[in-house]
A and B are shown apart, each in its own frame.
Chain A
């Protein structure tokens, strides 16, 4: 098995070093058509416009995984927060400083995504981490034990994207073909849904299965 892995590496390395002198790529095509999209950040333009199907189904994968985790984790499992006796200054002071900062950074990344590096998934990851941090420190967001709002948020990205795609279909006659007006607003709206979905799904992935139910 070791020699097979070495052979795979050798073959890959040979392919990498034996590359064409000029890598054509698709950057030019993408950058040339950037003004036709509602985003000025090329990665966002590729993600939400040129390769919209990719992102649409990616949000679908995220939702399916969240449903799978919820179905398999069972309702009885709950996150094991740090017991009150073991809480230190870290949980109180650091969290109080970190949480508003994380929310701010997350929202900024979401907003900046259309024009600068950033975007819905990264923002969602920061917000999801904030939720996990809160739960670990025993500061659960209101009614977090009832997962209905979290579940709804997890479904929002896919549902919103699907609604947008169907809306575009009736207007433009093609799924995910953005209508010529308000492109930036539409991209931001879809991104808000994706961001909430990512945050909720990440929190579900981490918090639902982490419980004492099957410890041992």
Chain B
């Protein structure tokens, strides 16, 4: 166990906790938040892995991938939130129907 291991395990814990949250929470905004934190966990793992590169410079490739990932995560979040708002504006609800028969 070194410092990178602690970050990697923390990232994986974030991923698992928010995966649980994504499945259990019904409110759409909470689901979007859960997806965001899942992504955050992945970024933490990638950044920690980059430190393991031989030599004293961190591996720039995972860093660039995380940077790309953050921008995509922001875009997806914005789009997901606007979809959630439209669902509320259209149906008055903040949750998806439990099954297809519930849909009116």
Footprint of B on A, CB under 8 Å? 1-2, 4-6, 8-9, 12-13, 16-17, 22-28, 30-31, 42-43, 45-47, 50-51, 54-55, 58, 61-62, 64-66, 68-69, 72-73, 119, 121, 198, 201-202, 205-206, 209, 214
Contact = CB atoms under 8 A, between A and B. Distances in A.
A67 to B, nearest CB: 10
B29 to A, nearest CB: 13
Interface residues on B, range: 35 or more
A8 B15 contact: yes
Contact of B64 (A6, A9, A47): A47
Interface of B: 1, 5, 8-9, 12-13, 15-17, 19-20, 23-24, 45, 49-50, 52-55, 57-61, 63-65, 67-68, 70-72, 74-76, 78-79, 81-83, 85-86, 88-89
Contact of A9 (B5, B12, B54, B65): B12
A123 B26 CA distance: 36
A8 B61 contact: no
Contact of B68 (A31, A45, A47, A73): A47
Interface of chain A: mostly helix, strand, loop or mixed: helix
Nearest to B17: A5
B49 to A, nearest CB: 7
